[in-house]
């Protein structure tokens, strides 16, 4: 990576002065730099920097004037780090890391000002606002609420049926996570799964989802008298990134005594961004008998490449294609081609988000075997699912 230009400062010169506007940071490649803070007209030394050290970063990150002066004690060679390069790094960092950076800078400025004897505590707090407050704070709070929520059993699973499009028979379920928090109310997985994935909360949460899903599959199979029913469980890239995933799911399967052939792990193309080792984990897990489904198929940038790189048993055609199928001939052509390709590769196809009868009829005519959506069943609690399908069984 190019760090940009180098500049030289002769011994005895100022690199910048306290209060200047900052436009770059520096890495000291050779020489010695004295950092000073002005106190009652005097320059008071606070640090001596030697080669390899970075300085001048604070004004770039928080946009305030230089917090101290930098003075070359020897002839210095400095690598210039441009404002854009540094800001880009900070703005693309994980939100909680951004919050920590801004907090630490705020604290250092505050210590410097206290040292100078300037300003009251209120003044200092007012001048220096954290750069990236809200989102990071929201995520941090949600993460700690989730950890507590797990301990307090606030999470639960709902199940949505998956059906044979020709016979309309039930073939299995997808487990979908829900979070009922006393203060937040019912939180959608679209909101909390992303935050859980950015932190390590997804690991205990994901473990709990797998265990509950396995146990409920046994109940569903037993109560509905159908040992062939399957359970699809969403698994995030972060879970599969854990090298121990494959051993733990096998241990869980042995403990709960579920048949791995009835368990489908749904992954999205995001798993491919994490690197080769995830594919190894998937391969190992598949060798234990679990099958894999490619979720939201067609929405990523590399759907076909992902099929090439990973052996999946099922493709789930994204709802965006299903909902436009009737009106948009391009959606129809795409679904048609995906179904034909899947057939050739020996892969099942599930169409997601079917809401209307004409969509189900057309999908079946295009050769799509399986479907899921509000037309057939909404996601429901285990008790409601049992009630619905055991009633159907009695009627049949």
The torsion angles phi and psi of 89, rounded to 5 degrees, stand at -60, -45
Query: Measured from the CB of residue 49, what is the shortest distance to ligand CMP in angstroms?
Result: 7
CA torsion sign for 200, 301, 232, 312 is: negative
Provide the edge-to-edge strand list for the sheet that holds 24-30.
6-9, 76-82, 24-30, 54-55
Provide the edge-to-edge strand list for the sheet that holds 42-49.
14-16, 69-72, 33-39, 42-49
200 binds, among Ca ion, ligand CMP, ligand C2E, none (CB under 5 to 8 A by kind): none
> Applying CB under 5 A, which of residues 18, 143, 145, 295 lies at the interface with Ca ion?
295
Q: Is 213 left (phi over 0), alpha (psi -120 to 50) or beta?
A: alpha
Nearer to Ca ion, 14 or 376 (CB): 376
249 binds, among Ca ion, ligand CMP, ligand C2E, none (CB under 5 to 8 A by kind): none
Contacts 24+ apart (CB under 8 A), 325-332: 325/359, 325/362, 325/363, 326/356, 326/358, 326/359, 326/362, 332/362, 332/366
User: Which one of 83-91, 245-253, 291-299, 378-386 is the stretch in contact with Ca ion (CB under 5 A)?
Assistant: 291-299
Kindly write down the DSSP assignment for every residue of 88-134, as one continuous string.
HHHHTS-HHHHHHHHHHHHHHHHHHHHHHT-S-HHHHHHH---TTHH
355 binds, among ligand C2E, ligand CMP, Ca ion, none (CB under 5 to 8 A by kind): ligand C2E
> Applying CB under 6 A, which of residues 25, 60, 177, 203 lies at the interface with ligand C2E?
177
Q: Which two tokens stand for residue 9?
A: 């400062």
353 binds, among ligand C2E, Ca ion, ligand CMP, none (CB under 5 to 8 A by kind): ligand C2E
Does 234 participate in binding Ca ion (rule CB under 5 A)?
yes
Per-residue interface string for the shown chain with ligand C2E, residues 137-176, x marking contact by CB under 6 A: -----------------------x--------------xx
Nearer to ligand C2E, 122 or 357 (CB): 357
Nearer to ligand C2E, 157 or 366 (CB): 157
Those residues whose C-beta lies under 8 Å from the C-beta of residue 22, and which sit 6 or more positions away, are 16, 56, 58, 59, 60, 65, 66, 83
Nearer to ligand CMP, 116 or 311 (CB): 116
The rounded distance, in Å, linking the Cα atoms of 392 and 384 is 12
Residue nearest to ligand C2E (CB): 373
Does 359 participate in binding ligand C2E (rule CB under 6 A)?
no
Nearer to ligand CMP, 53 or 207 (CB): 53
The rounded distance, in Å, linking the Cα atoms of 57 and 298 is 43
User: Which one of 34-42, 82-90, 197-205, 344-352 is the stretch in contact with Ca ion (CB under 5 A)?
Assistant: 344-352
Chain residues in the site for ligand C2E (CB under 6 A): 160, 175-177, 188-190, 193, 209, 234, 236, 295-296, 353-355, 372-374, 379
Chain residues in the site for ligand CMP (CB under 6 A): 22, 35, 46-47, 55-59, 66-68, 70, 108, 112
């Amino acid at each position: 990576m190019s760090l940009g230009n180098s500049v030289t400062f002769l011994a005895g010169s100022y690199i910048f002065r306290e209060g200047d506007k900052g436009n770059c940071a520096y890495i000291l490649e050779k020489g010695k730099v004295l950092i000073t803070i002005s106190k009652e007209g005097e320059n008071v030394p606070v640090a001596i920097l030697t080669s390899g050290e970075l300085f001048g970063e604070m004004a770039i990150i928080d946009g305030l004037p230089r917090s101290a002066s930098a003075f070359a004690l020897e002839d210095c060679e400095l690598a210039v780090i441009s404002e854009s390069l540094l800001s880009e790094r900070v703005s693309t960092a994980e939100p909680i890391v951004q919050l920590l950076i801004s907090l630490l800078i705020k604290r250092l400025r505050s210590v410097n000002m206290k040292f100078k004897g300037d300003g009251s505590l209120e003044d200092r707090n007012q001048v220096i606002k954290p750069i990236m407050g809200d989102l990071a704070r929201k995520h941090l709070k949600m993460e700690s609420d989730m950890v507590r929520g797990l301990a307090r059993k606030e999470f639960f699973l709902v199940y949505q049926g998956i059906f044979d499009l020709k016979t309309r028979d039930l073939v299995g379920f997808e487990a979908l996570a829900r979070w009922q928090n006393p203060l937040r109310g019912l939180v959608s997985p679209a909101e909390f799964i992303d935050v859980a994935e950015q932190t390590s909360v997804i690991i205990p949460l994901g473990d709990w989802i797998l265990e509950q899903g396995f146990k409920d599959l046994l109940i569903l199979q037993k109560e509905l008298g159908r040992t062939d029913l399957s359970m699809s469980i969403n698994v995030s890239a972060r879970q599969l990134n854990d090298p121990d995933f494959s051993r733990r799911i096998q241990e869980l399967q042995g403990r709960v005594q579920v048949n791995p052939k009835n368990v489908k792990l749904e992954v999205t193309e995001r798993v491919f961004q994490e690197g080769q080792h995830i594919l190894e984990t998937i391969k190992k897990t598949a060798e234990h008998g679990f099958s894999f489904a490619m979720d939201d198929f067609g929405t990523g940038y590399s759907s076909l490449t992902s099929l090439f790189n990973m052996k999946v048993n099922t493709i789930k055609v994204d709802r965006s294609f299903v909902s436009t199928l009737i009106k948009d001939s391009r959606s129809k052509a795409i679904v048609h081609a995906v179904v034909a390709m899947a057939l050739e590769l020996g892969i099942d196809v599930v169409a997601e988000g079917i809401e209307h009868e004409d969509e189900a009829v057309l999908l079946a005519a295009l050769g799509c075997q399986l479907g899921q959506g509000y037309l057939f069943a909404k996601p429901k609690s285990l008790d409601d699912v049992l009630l619905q399908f055991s009633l159907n069984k009695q009627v049949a």
